[in-house]
Amino acid sequence: MDKVFSRRNFLLGGAATAAGLAASKVVLPQAVGAASGQELCTVLDISQCIGCEACVEACRETWQATVPDPVTPMPQPFPQRVPIQDWSKKKDVQDRLTPYNFLYLEHLSVPHKGQEAEVHLPRRCMHCMNPPCTNLCPFGAGRVEENGVVHIDPEVCLGGAKCKQVCPWSVPQRQSGVGIYLDILPEYAGNGVMFKCHRCLPLVKEGKLPRCLEVCPQQLQSIGPRQAQIEKATSLAKEKAVADGSGPDAWRDYVYGLTENGGTNTIYVSHIPFREIAAAIEADHAQRRGPGKGAAQGAGGGQGKGAGVTKGGKGLRTGASGLMHMHPVANSMENAENLTLALVLAPLAGLAAGFTKLFGKKRGAPPAGQDAPPERRGEKGGA
């Protein structure tokens, strides 16, 4: 009997092919490859946060200088609908995610049981277990470490922002006028570099704590092997649910990140149900955007296409604003189109990553975090 060709057969065949490629150590999307099971996970008890922003300041002091200043004037991208985004003159902004600010705090007044509850909420990359930002990057710039850290290689990234478009929380932020695209085809080959929290990867590799954990006076975060952290978060959520009068069976209402987008390595536990926190965040973001301004409004350099507002399990995205929602998020990599695209992109992304790495070395591009030549860091004309 002839085999019937279908999307299911194609995906099954693709997975089988991927298994063969994995044996030859070809980089594959994490949706296909087996997870190591050694991920480090953080649990945040937001009932302990006092809103001091010590974590934000420590993050900025440690990592802001590793993000270069742009060249001036910046190359005008073609087509012109691709927006230039420049935060280099707004480095003091710390109430949202920017290329120079990897962490911010939500300061909320949440209606709860007839009263207003004060909630402070640290926000940064969720470090998904199966991140679409890395699986679907056409340039191969996304990385997932065995310890669960999701990050972007600035020596490979061309600033195409696909990672931001597919991220359920629109986390990565673009800084135009920096990166390897300046040495390739500035008008056509990209528009900068995407930046986000890398959970202090250089420090974690040395066995040190991420800076936000280290400086917190309340020690509201903990980090450790994922399974142990899941058990901790579950137990803590049950305590919060009981204390709030909901009972232990309602504990899932008091935890966020455990199942979002297929599971993340950032798990929040709250003393208030997250549906109430999500509604307060949405109201706060609408107020901050102002009347008549949609969620996809650009920031730091014009109007971005953004991701707009989407609901129905995918959450509310806040486009280029750098503000994160807290709605439930379905597993984006269970989507058949995304899985197919990941399978197709994997070898192409590997070639692209290898090319940009090789090109950067030949052109003398400095390693990430080191000083670049003046013309690459924007000292000409200042920024």
pLDDT tens sequence across 104-148: 999 999 999 999 999 999 999 999 999 999 999 988 899 999 999
Total residue count of the chain as it appears in this document:
383
The domains located in the chain, with CATH, are 36-365 (3.30.70.20)
Kindly state the average pLDDT of the residues 320-324.
Answer: 82
Distance of CA 239 to the CA centre of its chain: 29
User: Cα-Cα-Cα-Cα dihedral of 130, 136, 140, 143, to 10°?
Assistant: -20
Cα(323)–Cα(96) distance, rounded to whole angstroms? Answer: 6
Distance of CA 173 to the CA centre of its chain: 9
Res 6 pLDDT > 50: no
Cα(215)–Cα(96) distance, rounded to whole angstroms? Answer: 20
Q: What is the mean pLDDT of the chain?
A: 80
pLDDT in tens, 218-227: 999 999 999 9
Res 369 pLDDT > 50: no
pLDDT value, residue 365:
46
User: Is-cis flag, bond preceding 273, omega within 30?
Assistant: no
pTM of the predicted model as reported, rounded to 2 decimal places: 0.80
Give 10's pLDDT tier (boundaries 50, 70, 90): very low
Cα(321)–Cα(303) distance, rounded to whole angstroms? Answer: 10
Angle, in degrees to the nearest 10, between helices 336-362 and 7-23: 40
SS3 sequence of the chain? CCCCCCHHHHHHHHHHHHHHHHHCCCCCCCCCCCCCCCCEEEEEEHHHCCCCCHHHHHHHHHHHHHCCCCCCCCCCCCCCCCCCCCCCCCCCCCCCCECCECCEEEEEEEEECCEEEEEEEEECCCCECCCHHHHCCCCCCEEECCCCCEEECCCCCCCCCHHHHHCCCCCCEEECCCCHHHHCCCCCCCCCEEECCCCCHHHHHCCCCCHHHHHCCCCCEEEEEHHHHHHHHHHHHHHHHHHCCCCHHHHHHHEECCCHHHCECEEEECCCCHHHHHHHHHHHHHHHHCCCCCCCCCCCCCCCCCCCCCCCCCCCCCHHHCCCCCCCCCCHHHCHHHHHHHHHHHHHHHHHHHHHHHHHHHCCCCCCCCCCCHHHHCCCCCC
pLDDT value, residue 34:
32
Q: Which amino acid is at 141?
A: A
Kindly state the average pLDDT of the residues 240-250.
Answer: 97
Give 13's pLDDT tier (boundaries 50, 70, 90): very low
Res 33 pLDDT > 50: no
Q: How many CB atoms lie within 10 A of CB 352?
A: 18
Cα(198)–Cα(176) distance, rounded to whole angstroms? Answer: 19
Cα(237)–Cα(248) distance, rounded to whole angstroms? Answer: 8
